[in-house]
Structure 1
Amino acid sequence: MVPSPAVIEAVQAQLGPLRDGPVPLDGGITNHNFRARFADHDVVLRIAGRQTDLLGIDRDAERLATAAASDLGIAPPVLLFLPEHGCLVTTFVPGTPIPDPQLREPPALEAVARALRAFHEHAPALPTTFDVPRIARGYLTLARDRGGAVPAAAWDAAQLAERIAAALTGPEHVPVPCHDDLLGANILCHEADIWIVDWEYAGMGDRYFDLGNLSINNGFVDADDERLLAAYWDEPCTERRFAALRLMRSMSDVREALWGVVQQTISDLDFDFAAYADRHLRRLRATVADPRFERWLLDAASP
């Protein structure tokens, strides 16, 4: 796929003539991303995939979140938003994904923790919510109604999300602006700069989802989670906070698994979504089988 002539013309009208590209960028299994130069602007064109609104993606919220993160110095600036073309244009920033081992250690761990807390506490409210139990129900209903294959384990996962959400109450779980898709590929570094990109799932949600999502997507173990929480809160980790993060690792797998289930029925991308869903369902079953799981539910609900 390449950007349509209409997209190129719309960008040229505001940024100047196309000088180079567009060249496809690797990564991403929902959208199409391209690097290009318009006049003196080195940019990334982000073209939304087909029917991504069915995944709960709000493109205006993505734009607002990206702009807010840019204001905080943790995301590239937004140059254009062309909703009629499903296109977001941001400044291209140099950077490469932070390898898992490096992300789990200082100074990267502290930098990412500070960036997330800054966004959670200082970004403006977003016009959409990110509630995993609601998202799970919506994904499964959509997949079923479109004749997709919905494994029994997927319905069990949705019920588990309800149970976890019931344990996570109190001031620290009041909805805040969140990123909600902290894959390693979305956290870049260049020299001293940390960039968080791909804000399409951003919405008002539980900050612990971001922390748990970051943890499970990047191979964190218990000690890494304790360091992450200490860096995020700038004080020693507590049992309640540790339990909340560990439960949100499971919540992340619920979302990823059911996302894979629904993508099988709506996506036009060449990707094995069935295997993706199965991988996350299997990891979720292993987590629930951890003898500490029930204790985490109790600890997370404690005052």
Structure 2
Amino acid sequence: MVAIEGQNPGLAAAAEAAGRSIPKEARGLLHELAAEWADVADCRALEVVPLKGAMTNEVYQVRWLTGPGGEGEAEGEYRKVLMRVYGEGVELFFDREDEVRTFECMSRHGHGPRLLGRFPTGRVEEFIHARTLSAVDLRDPEISAIIASKLRDFHNLDMPGPKCVLMWDRLRNWLKTAKRVCPSDEAKEFRLDSLEKEITALESEFSGEEQCIGFCHNDLQYGNIMIDEETRALTIIDYEYASFNPVAYDIANHFCEMAADYHSEEPHVLDYTKYPDVDERKRFVQTYLSCSEGEEPDEQKVQDLLNSIEKYTLASHLVWGLWGIISEHVNDIDFDYMEYARQRFAQYWLKKPTIIACHADE
């Protein structure tokens, strides 16, 4: 969920404020890391650059100027790491220890940045020298095809733990939390009392299908994907919501994220005219399936997956609608979570009749 901003007076002020607000334990860890690098003259002379676009945590680039002749990293001018300060209330969404175990497992298998150290309210990670994707990149046919291939590899990861679907339990747990934190007027506005019935209906609707279960990212928005411009290699980052789920849900969630631009002047505003059209969705699924079969996928398999994906968009809207409601009450990051939730629920109620009717006879 990160993208480095250009240098400007506002950013400089934000960087100075961020530097002052680094937790004491984090500062000590950063000093220890930098002290091990021979090309860093002063391990305490660190610069902190806030990275825009994070909605669960606060994320910063921390860097040290390297001395003359130092090897440094990438540009040869700075040593860089990424510092993640956990957002308030995240324990309501996922178990942080489970997330860290996933992160460490992914790192060991070369699928993400290395974990450099932890402090009570966050961690320090390897800084990946690659470009974070933008909202526009998701619509680029070449990049979309690379994402499809990478996502298939991700889904096939043999991760530890039970390989059972998590999404329905997550939805019910988040619904209970939303009811607990919401005042009565909000609960009425979002029809929270009717959502248990909606979740049960969706689970029943999908349970009869032959589904492919894989290790899913569950939050594959553009800010969680990085690309090496030279090699075109992709790295998927941020595994906070990752779990085993139907792969159709993960792809559906990715398609829904194409409506968002979290780096715009109104980052909470969603534009569903940007949801991929039939041809875009079909190209993505064909690439995704051909990665495993090594040849052109069967047309019926393509269509079956496309149908499942469309149905799982409904689950995606409920998941992130509830996330928005809860976040509004527990997170102080500058983002209009409540309006975001309204849009996700509005899309759910708008699309549900058509999607269910279209696939009723399948």
Which category of TM-score, normalised to the shorter sequence, fits these structures?
A: 0.7 to 0.9
The structure-2 alpha-carbon separation of the partners of 1:200 and 1:183, relative to structure 1 and needing over 3 Å to count, comes to same
Please give the alpha-carbon distance, in whole angstroms, between the structure 2 residues aligned to 1:200 and 1:269: 17
- 1 CA distance for matches of 2:192 and 2:113? 36
**Percent identity at matched positions?**
20
Picking from 34, 42, 51, the partner of 1:25 is 51
Cα distance between partner residues in 2 of 1:166 and 1:173: 17
Could you tell me how far apart the structure 1 residues matched to 2:278 and 2:111 are? 26
Q: Distance in 2 between matches of 1:297 and 1:14?
A: 57
Q: Which residue of 2 aligns with 1:205?
A: 245
Selected match of 1:266 from 330, 346, 349: 330
1:276 to 334, 337, 340: 340
Letter in 2 for 1:224: E
Matches within 5 A, 1:28-107: 28-37=54-63, 41-55=79-93, 57-70=94-107, 73-80=110-117, 82=118, 85-107=120-142
Distance in 2, matches of 1:99 and 1:35, equals 18
Residues 63, 53 of structure 1: alpha-carbon distance in 2 compared, 3 angstrom cutoff: same
Code of the residue aligned with 1:172 in structure 2: it is: Q
1:252-277: per-residue Cα shift (whole Å, max 9, x none)? Answer: 11111111111222222232221111
Partners of 2:190 and 2:345 within 8 A in 1: no
Cα 1:266/1:59, change in 2 over 3 Å: same
The RMSD of aligned alpha carbons is 2.7
TM-score normalised to structure 1 length: 0.85
Pick the aligned partner of 1:140 from 171, 175, 195. 175
Q: Within 1, Cα distance between the matches of 2:130 and 2:193?
A: 39
- Listed one character per residue, the Cα deviations across residues 131-183 of structure 1 (whole Å, up to 9, x for unaligned) are 33322222222232234332343444443333223333456343x32111111
Go from structure 1 to structure 2 and tell me whether the alpha carbon gap of 1:156 and 1:133 turns closer, same or farther (over 3 Å shift): farther
Asked if the contact 1:61/1:128 (under 8 Å) is kept, the reply is no
Please point out which of 287, 293, 297 is paired with 2:351: 287
Shift of the 92–155 alpha-carbon distance from structure 1 to 2, 3 Å rule, reads farther
Alpha carbons of structure 1 residues 126 and 225: separation in structure 2 relative to 1, 3 Å: farther
What is the letter of the counterpart of residue 24 of structure 2? Answer: P
Structure 2 residue 188 is the aligned partner of structure 1 residue 153:
no
1:12 to 27, 31, 54: 31
| Per-residue deviation, 1:54 | 0.8
Question: What amino acid sits opposite 1:26 in the alignment?
Answer: K
Q: Distance in 2 between matches of 1:48 and 1:128?
A: 27
Q: Give every structure 1 segment of 4 or more consecutive aligned residues whose post-TM-superposition deviation is greater than 6 Å.
A: 127-130
Which deviates more from structure 2 when the two are superposed, residues 259-268 or residues 127-136?
Answer: 127-136
Instruction: Establish whether residue 256 from structure 1 lines up as the match of residue 256 from structure 2.
Output: no
SS of equivalent to 2:141: coil
- The whole-number CA distance in structure 2 between the counterparts of 1:262 and 1:129 is 25
Ranked by relative contact order (alpha carbons within 8 Å, sequence separation 6 or more), the top structure is: 1
Q: State the shift of 1:294 in Å.
A: 2.6
TM-score, normalisation: structure 2: 0.72
Cα drift, residue 50 of structure 1: 1.2
1:22 counterpart SS class: strand
SS in 2 for 1:195: strand
Unaligned runs of 5+ in 2: 1-17, 36-42, 67-71, 73-78, 259-274, 291-296
Q: Aligned pair 1:172/2:207, yes or no?
A: no
SS at match of 1:271: coil
